């Protein structure tokens, strides 16, 4: 599997076997030197199994609702949504990553419903992931939903696999982006989007 290959989606994934997953976590706790039957851990394997189901079987709902709209040809039509925060799991260490998104596009004769931005992000974060793959996937779906190639997606991530282990750098952030159409080639739109996305970097 290459970096940008897309793993199975929640809708294509077989239903999780909750009892089997809980049993595996009981075994893991035992191997870690814990007693899964002690007071603090009673029910923990079942709760973790339920969380995996909630995370991997999440249904983001419809992501393609658009509204027809006439826009003046000389209008500054750049539409930007920022402040979308999502959590995913790093597929290398199974540790969480927190991602803050800024998404933009240049609408033509229709606009995408605002809630769909968060739904598109959720469709790509509820699985074992890489930040780079999430950004490319969100950009591809945003392009499909809006019907325009003028799309930009920027994500700033905090990775617990870097904060909690290894180099242990809790303030480190990773920023990557996908810019197409008018957002690419260091154009004005791309520069504006990146400036908006990074104006709160390190917050």
CATH assignment at residue 45 = 1.10.286.10
Whole-number pLDDT of residue 62 = 79
* pTM of the model as a whole: 0.85
Is there a single domain that holds both residue 22 and residue 104? no
Q: What is the pLDDT along the chain (203 residues), one digit of tens a residue?
A: 333 455 555 455 667 899 999 999 999 999 999 999 999 999 999 999 999 999 999 998 877 777 766 655 544 688 999 999 999 999 999 999 999 999 999 987 788 998 999 999 999 999 999 999 999 999 999 999 999 999 999 999 999 998 888 777 777 889 999 999 999 976 789 999 999 998 865 44
Is there a single domain that holds both residue 31 and residue 72? no
In a domain, 12, yes or no: no
In a domain, 193, yes or no: yes
Is there a single domain that holds both residue 80 and residue 52? no
Is there a single domain that holds both residue 112 and residue 152? yes
In a domain, 81, yes or no: yes
CATH assignment at residue 93 = 3.30.1130.10
Q: What is the full DSSP assignment across 106-174?
A: --SSEEE-THHHHHHHHHHHSSEE-HHHHHHHHHHHHHHHHT-S-EEEEEEEEEHHHHSSTT--TT--E
**Rounded to whole angstroms, how far apart are CA atoms 55 and 47?**
12
Is there a single domain that holds both residue 130 and residue 35? no
**Rounded to whole angstroms, how far apart are CA atoms 41 and 26?**
9
* Residues spanned by the domain of 143: 66-198
Is there a single domain that holds both residue 143 and residue 85? yes
Is there a single domain that holds both residue 75 and residue 28? no
In a domain, 41, yes or no: yes
Measured in whole angstroms, the distance separating CA 33 from the mean position of its chain's CA atoms is 34
**Rounded to whole angstroms, how far apart are CA atoms 189 and 91?**
33
Output the six-digit token pair for 30. Answer: 């035992």
Is there a single domain that holds both residue 52 and residue 70? no
In a domain, 5, yes or no: no
**Rounded to whole angstroms, how far apart are CA atoms 111 and 115?**
12
In a domain, 3, yes or no: no
Is there a single domain that holds both residue 151 and residue 79? yes
Whole-number pLDDT of residue 3 = 39
How many separate domains does the chain show? Answer: 2
Is there a single domain that holds both residue 112 and residue 175? yes
Whole-number pLDDT of residue 72 = 56
Is there a single domain that holds both residue 87 and residue 43? no
Whole-number pLDDT of residue 202 = 45
Is there a single domain that holds both residue 70 and residue 23? no
Q: What is the full DSSP assignment across 62-107?
A: ----EEE----TTS---EEEEEEEEEEEETTT--EEEEEEEEEE--
Whole-number pLDDT of residue 4 = 45
């Amino acid at each position: 599997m290459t970096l940008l290959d897309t793993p199975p989606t929640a809708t294509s994934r077989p239903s999780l076997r909750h009892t089997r997953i809980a049993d595996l976590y009981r075994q893991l706790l035992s191997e870690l030197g814990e007693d899964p039957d002690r007071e603090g851990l009673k029910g923990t394997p079942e709760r973790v199994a339920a969380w995996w189901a909630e995370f991997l079987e999440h249904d983001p709902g419809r992501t393609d609702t658009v509204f027809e709209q006439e826009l003046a040809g000389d209008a500054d039509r750049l539409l930007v949504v920022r402040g979308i925060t999502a959590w995913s799991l790093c597929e290398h260490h199974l540790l969480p990553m927190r991602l803050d998104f800024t998404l933009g596009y240049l609408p033509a004769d229709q606009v995408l419903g605002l809630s769909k931005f968060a739904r598109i992000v959720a469709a790509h974060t509820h699985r074992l992931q890489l930040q780079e793959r999430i950004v490319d996937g969100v950009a591809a779906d945003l392009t499909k939903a809006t019907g325009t190639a003028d799309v930009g997606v920027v994500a700033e991530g905090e990775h617990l696999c870097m904060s909690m282990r290894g180099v242990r750098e809790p303030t480190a952030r990773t920023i990557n982006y996908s810019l197409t159409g008018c957002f690419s080639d260091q154009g004005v739109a791309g520069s504006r989007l990146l400036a908006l996305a990074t104006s709160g970097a390190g917050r």
